[in-house]
Chains A and B, each alone.
Chain A
Amino acid sequence: GAVVSQHPSRVICKSGTSVKIECRSLDFQATTMFWYRQFPKQSLMLMATSNEGSKATYEQGVEKDKFLINHASLTLSTLTVTSAHPEDSSFYICSARDTGSSYNEQFFGPGTRLTVL
């Protein structure tokens, strides 16, 4: 099946630093990628929809200046958590939609666990 990778898988940083997370579709093109966040024992919450070549669409309550999204190519989207704080500690998961598939199936990356000290 289609593969989506994320890097890094785990990151620990100091409060106030910025962290960049990469999401790559390895064997298919993805015009659309999605960024989710999951707190312990909570559901995945969609943060934003990333569209190649255009601005991301953010969900209500998600600060676009804090969570910068860049989708510069059909296989790569990045999420930058700027000036991270302990409350940003979470499991960040991306997914990519296979543009070439008639089912438009979404494939999830393995997630990035962010811990802000």
Chain B
Amino acid sequence: RKEVEQDPGPFNVPEGATVAFNCTYSNSASQSFFWYRQDCRKEPKLLMSVYSSGNEDGRFTAQLNRASQYISLLIRDSKLSDSATYLCVVKGNNRLAFGKGNQVVVIP
């Protein structure tokens, strides 16, 4: 079983709509959780950390469910500039494990 699993999509989203996706992780001892954004042929960039109580940053909301070992990301009022691949990242044993990413395509 992979450390971090994500459905690669693509997720085709009309502009202005809401899209949500999640990932699952296998290591129950994982300590920290993040969502990164990766644009085509670029390096990943930190979008937001994910806290146990859930957290929001503008149009982005992240949730963590430790019992079920999954993390979710919700994007409200999608913009064309949100088109990217969103990587679920889990930290444990002092190293980061990356999912394949959820590809989001926002359609005008």
User: Which residues of A does B touch, CB under 8 Å?
Assistant: 34, 36, 41-46, 49, 91, 93, 105-106, 108-111, 113
Q: Mark B52-79, 1 if CB is under 8 A from A, else 0.
A: 0000000000000000000000000000
Residue contact B43 to A43, C-beta cutoff 8 Å: no
User: Which residues of B does A touch, CB under 8 Å?
Assistant: 4, 8, 41-46, 87, 95-101
A contact residues around B99 at 8 Å (CB): 43
Residue contact A108 to B45, C-beta cutoff 8 Å: yes
Contact among A42, A43, A108, A111 with B4 in the assembled complex (CB-CB below 8 Å) = A43
Most buried by B among A36, A44, A93, A109: A44
B contact residues around A113 at 8 Å (CB): 41
Closest to A107 in B: B46
A90 to chain B, nearest CB (A): 12
Identify 5 residue pairs between A and B in the complex whose beta-carbon atoms are under 8 Å apart, listed by A's number: A43-B99, A46-B95, A108-B43, A108-B44, A111-B42
| Extra 13 A-B pairs, beta carbons < 8 Å, given A41-B100, A46-B96 | A34-B95, A36-B98, A42-B100, A44-B87, A45-B98, A46-B95, A46-B97, A49-B95, A105-B46, A106-B96, A108-B44, A110-B42, A111-B43
